[in-house]
Structure 1
Amino acid sequence: MYHLLPSLRVAVLAASLLVFVSSRSVAAQSDDTAERDTSEVAMYVQMPDSVVVTASRYAEPSQTTGRRVQVWTRRDIAEMPITTVDQLLEVTAGLDVRSRGAFGVQSDLSLRGSTFNGVLLLVDGARVNDPMTGHFLMDIPIPLPEIERIEVLRGPATALYGPDALGGVVQIFTRAAMAPVQNTENGVGGDVIGQYGDYSLYGTEGQLRVAREHWRISVAGTAQGSNGQPITNDQGDVIESSRGEERTDFERYAGTAAAKTKLGDGSIYARIGIDDRDFSAYHYYAVAGDTARESTQTLWAQIRAQGDPRADTRWTAQVASKLHDDNYRYNPQASPSIHTSRLTTVQAEVSRTLSPEWTVNGGVSGQVRGIDSNTLGDRADVAGGVFASARYRPTKPFVLNGSLRLDGDPLYGLEPTPQLFASYSLSTVTLRAGVGRAVRAPNYVERYIDLPTTKGSPDLNAERSWSAEAGTDIYVTPELTLRLTGFGRRTTGLIDYAKVDENDAAYVARNLNEVETLGLETEASFRQTIQGVRVLLDGSYTLMDQTLTSQRPVADARYALSSPRHMLQGRAAISYGQITGSVNASYLDRTGNREIPTDHYGLIHVRLAYGWQMTEGKHVAVSAEVRNLRDREYSDVLDAPMPGRTFLVSLRFWL
């Protein structure tokens, strides 16, 4: 499966460089959709920010979910100084993005102090998490121009989506999946972006979409790469191996195609995608003697059918499949580790509006997972679950959302995961609170890895947690919103690599007895237009404290206490006429982590863009961007080097 479809690279480049023709815009959703709280708006129209899906599996105003969900829209993506999904998530409150390489090459996600295996990633409702390891979570073949919105749900969600959602859920909604297929005007649209920067950094991506009366097609591709920055030792000398200079070089090519059409009063949607990347993996997983390189390939396919979203009874059925290849070579003298992991998921659910007070939802899901590996062996497992949820609104300000799921897995048997969240909304204040249980099974690496410094444990148990939270959203003015959330989680049997004695030669995967996490999230959002100047500000501060207790003393644990104690994250954008300036900034303090030499650091990324309308419906923009403005030397994991100051310029056409 290595180097899948070599001609893909040429095809992606050609597709990305298309100059698109004029189109008529697709009719937008009216503002009053935000007042609907049924699934009528789910997955078939462009939803306003105030309506979310991920918190309850059907669309409803965020104020009634009892949860904190942060929404990033296509406009946010276009305005911010980012080139990958990872870079967008870096300014999401409470979300810790632990990157090993530049520009989205590989990143782990942690939410509210979870390990990097405790965040669930969904693409249009389908599970993406790799059964081999959480390190491949962000290997997704969805270029930025194809993303319509991203929702980040904080807190437990196993009762809604199954195992792994201990810290929260990140869900990507694509433009094709959310496109309306009823009363759609005919039209053609598209987006193409080209970038070039320091160290021969290049990037080009494009999207082409065609809409007819009852169907929609979307094609997107991306190609990115760089010669990379030289990697130096403590004395400032460039490190060399038998391959020559060690650099942070990478290449990534991805492409996807999707279609959506009417199915009676409902719709059917299908997508295929491929992601192919090759990169320096210097010190990604080890230190001594590590001059690694790695290549990964991902194949993705999904198909979803759903009934009339406007009916009292609504149904959805979906099948998704992922094939992931990984070729890792520790150094030029070592034999490669070759892995192929597989994941197929099926899901069917039904929702029913019983009355203005009651909405119920229920369904079944299953997954077949496996791996073929020259180091981990050949493995396969089957798991599944049933779930039900209900939304009860006895009075207009008060809403209860409850869910219960029962999962069956050969690794932990039957496991119930309930959750209950409530909200109480007044004109300027929303109060929210809830509690939930979550579970996560060990992955194949945790069970079967066998290296001199890292050992797996085939008999690992699942980790289980109870989480609780309470918060308030204060709408000070129509332009200013303040949010405060306190949360706590107690995890038993947390899976981590630990040493019982500091003289142990290897970290061994173990179920640690208990980890307690307490945290406080504060957020502020400001939107205002003053004399033609549009000002947008988002900022957050997260404080977390984690305590590890164990029945046996643990000398060192690799990930359990690695979350930042302090996190400052934010972005700003100012637009006047055709000029937009934007800044993304973050500060992390990892004072409790022994594995990362860069305990605390701050990053600033800036962009200045100028855009104009060429002719009716056709737009163009040029921009200049500086990443890591302060040229900060830092590492997120071990001492895998992250890029210093990088300049790049971009040209974008869209209609």
Structure 2
Amino acid sequence: MSRLLRAAALLAAAGAFSAQAQQLAVPADTARRLSEVTVYATRLGQAEGQTGRYVTVIPGAVLSRYPVNSIDDLLRLLPNLEIQSRGSFGAQADITLRGSTFNQVLLLLDGMRLNDPLTGHFAAYFPITPAEIEQLEIVRGPGAALYGPDAVGGFINIVTKVFAATHRPDGVQLGGTFLAGEYGLKSTNAGFYGQDQGLRLAGGVLNNTASGQLVGTPDGARNDFKLNTYSLSGAYQVTPKLSAAARASFDRRDYGARFFYTTNPGDQARETTTRDWYQGQLRYEWSAAQRTELQLVGTSSTDYYLYTPASVASDHLVHYLNVQAQHYWTLSPALRLTLGGQADRRAVLSNDRGDHTLWHQGAFAVAAITPLPGLSLTPALRLDHDESYGTELVPQLNASYAPGARLTVRGAVGRGIRAPNFTEQYTSNVRPGTVPAGFNVGNPALAAERTWSYEGGLDYQPGPALTLRGTYFNRNGRNLIDYVNASGAQV
């Protein structure tokens, strides 16, 4: 980053931080004990110390202090999380956990799947802005028993202020930054949250553009980018028992994609993507001990990839529909239960992959059991069916024991699955003419990856601002999906 950009960023960040300090009542010490942090990604709203997992939870008030220009920039600052970026300012990023591939990490927005059916490279195209985040949850290790395929190395859940089942005081929060730098850089990150009695509203704008630096090719190409995300969400308490929430967001990206996917010197690629995201939620509180939630997500996305000006562009249209229902019971102080089901439909229309539609269904159950003081057990079971890989039974068991207020012993064992995406199954399958040397060819007969993971660890908090963790984990997999070199006769 140039000196000019550093100076502009520092000035913008300083202005943003002072504004946030006036509008957000953030305590000086934001550190909390494990028993005080609620993790919603477990589908039970458990205290972190009872999950039996290595979890990182960061409140939105803390995240707002970070001088970042995109959500993947934000994730880059977090521990034990690897971000493999292509381009700048969030143009494209792959996320890995515990040595996984980027396709083995599941991203969630308020418990609903974010991963794109076309390719794992688009998973980090988050349809919200940083100002809308209530808290960020990173759960390391398998989560297929809870959410189905792809949660192998771990899963990340973004809880938003509007959709969260939390109580916030009435008021308005505003924040934003603007910075400019060399190479035509302009960056805007602005958002708001407001609440008045039973109404919540939030939204934001995230824009990053630049003419870019030279990429070192003879034609003088630059890694330019235009990245725009717009989001608006709202919730209303219809009755004392019934609440409704909705979100609409629009993501538009255009960027130089040279050497994103190849090392060929002739690569002159350019890529343009769009994604429209629509999300709805109904929550009904039957009593203090029972709650039902119904969630719906519909997306429409496009990807236009031109390898060279003389080549035929790959043009894809992807539709995704996901419906989920779950019911929470508190049966006793020592037993809580969540039962639910999910169905989704993913479809692609492409001049390279062809036209395909696949259905997926799953039913799950997860319980939080406290048989003895300090001992927590979290068993989960999911029956999953997909037109691509068939039927899978996915069990998991997490356990934790806290002999005192400062020490937690934890362990987990679970099965994971990872479904092939449309690119791995069908890339170049209907491409006109001969597939050029060095290009990838998909395999429609791919089976799902299957893994077993085991882990154990200790968490020790000598003080409220310090947590020491040690974890051992082991993952064994088969049917792992990857590309191999092959002659034309083998394809």
| Residue 393 (structure 2) pairs with residue 416 (structure 1) | yes
Structure 2 SS opposite 1:117: helix
| Contact 1:231–1:248, Cα closer than 8 Å, also in 2 | yes
1:53 equivalent to 2:40? Answer yes
Query: What is the alpha-carbon distance in structure 2 between the residues aligned to residue 352 and residue 179 of structure 1?
Result: 15
1-structure distance, mates of 2:33, 2:473: 29
| Preserved contact between residue 499 and residue 506 of structure 1 (Cα < 8 Å) | no
**2:236 equivalent among 249, 261, 264:** 261
The equivalent residue for 2:344 is: 367
Aligned to 2:425, which of 438, 447, 465?
Answer: 447
State the Cα deviation string for residues 101-150 of structure 1 (Å, max 9, x = none).
11110011111121111111111111111111101111122112222221
Equivalent of 1:271 in 247, 250, 259? 247
Corresponding residue for residue 142 of structure 1: 128
Is the Cα–Cα contact under 8 Å of residues 35 and 61 in structure 1 kept in the other structure?
A: no
Q: How does 1:54-93 map to 2 (within 5 A)?
A: 54=41, 56-93=42-79
* Aligned residue in 1 for 2:206: 222
Amino acid at match of 2:103: N
Aligned-residue offset at 1:218: 1.6
Whether the 8 Å contact between 2:132 and 2:193 is mirrored in structure 1 is no
Give yes or no for contact 1:181–1:213 (8 Å, CA) kept in 2: no
Residues 1:190 and 2:174 are matched in the alignment: yes
Give the drift of 1:27.
9.4
Equivalent residue number for residue 634 of structure 1:
none
| SS at 2:156 equivalent | strand
Q: Is 468-477 or 142-151 further displaced after alignment? A: 142-151
Which residue type is aligned with residue 406 of structure 1?
Answer: L
Deviation at 1:309, TM superposition (A): 8.4
Counterpart of 1:170 in 2: which secondary structure?
Answer: strand
Moved more, 85-94 or 137-146: 85-94
2:279 aligns with 302
Q: Percent same amino acid among aligned pairs?
A: 37
Q: Say which of 255, 259, 263 aligns to 1:283.
A: 259
Bigger mean CA deviation after superposition, 343-352 or 310-319: 310-319
Separation of aligned partners in 1, 2:286 and 2:213:
50
Whichever residue aligns with residue 82 of structure 2, its letter is D
Match of 2:9 in 1: none
Structure 2 distance, partners of 1:179, 1:347, is: 17
Q: Which amino acid aligns with 1:230?
A: L
1:262 alignment partner AA: Q
1:310: how far off?
Answer: 6.4
Distance 1:216 1:62, change over 3 A: same
> What's the TM-score once normalised by structure 1's chain length?
0.67
- Structure in which a larger fraction of residues adopt helix: 2
What CA distance in whole angstroms lies between the structure 2 residues aligned with 1:397 and 1:189? 39
Q: Deviations over 1:281-310 (max 9, x none)?
A: 010111221011101001000001112286
Q: Which amino acid aligns with 1:405?
A: R
Inter-CA distance 479–219: structure 2 relative to 1 (3 Å threshold): closer
**Deviation for aligned residue 1:84:** 1.4
- What are the within-5 Å matches in structure 2 for residues 641-652 of structure 1? none
Structure 1 counterpart of 2:245, which letter? Y
Match of 1:431 among 402, 405, 409: 409
**8 A contact 2:341–2:361 mirrored in 1:** yes
Cα distance, 1:505 vs structure 2: 6.9
1:497 counterpart SS class: coil
CA contact (8 A) 1:497 1:507 kept: no
Aligned pairs, number: 459
Assess if the C-alpha contact under 8 Å between 2:342 and 2:363 holds in 1. Answer: yes
Separation in structure 1 between the aligned mates of residue 25 and residue 338 of structure 2, nearest angstrom: 30
Matches within 5 A, 1:97-112: 97-112=83-98
In structure 2, the partner of 1:498 is: 484
Which residue in 1 is equivalent to 2:298?
Answer: 321
Counterpart Cα distance in 2 of 1:286 and 1:176: 41
Structure 1: gaps of 5 or more residues: 1-20, 38-47, 233-238, 509-655
Please report how far the alpha carbon of residue 72 of structure 1 lies from its aligned counterpart in structure 2 after TM superposition. 2.4
TM-score by length of 2: 0.88
Task: Please state whether the residue corresponding to 1:411 is helix, strand or coil.
Answer: coil
Change (3 A) 1:180 1:475: closer
Report the Cα offset of residue 250 of structure 1: 0.3
Preserved CA contact (<8 Å) 2:134 2:159: yes
Contact 2:69 2:89 (8 Å CA) reproduced: yes
**In 2, Cα distance between equivalents of 1:506 and 1:120:** 36
CA contact (8 A) 1:181 1:216 kept: no
**Partners of 1:274 and 1:149 in 2: how far apart?**
22
Q: Secondary structure at the match of 2:163?
A: helix
Structure 2 vs 1, CA of residues 420 and 433 (structure 1 numbering), >3 Å: closer, same or farther?
A: same
Aligned-partner Cα distance in 2 for 1:109–1:73? 20
CA offsets 1:521-573 (integer angstroms, 9 cap, x no match): xxxxxxxxxxxxxxxxxxxxxxxxxxxxxxxxxxxxxxxxxxxxxxxxxxxxx
Aligned to 1:524: none
Separation (CA, whole Å) in 2 of partners of 1:422 and 1:89:
27
Partner Cα separation in structure 2 for residue 216 and residue 461 of structure 1: 44
Displacement after TM superposition at 1:179 (Å): 7.4
Q: Is the 8 A contact 1:181 1:215 kept in 2?
A: no
Alpha-carbon offset, residue 25 of structure 1: 7.0
Opposite residue 53 of structure 1, the aligned amino acid is Y
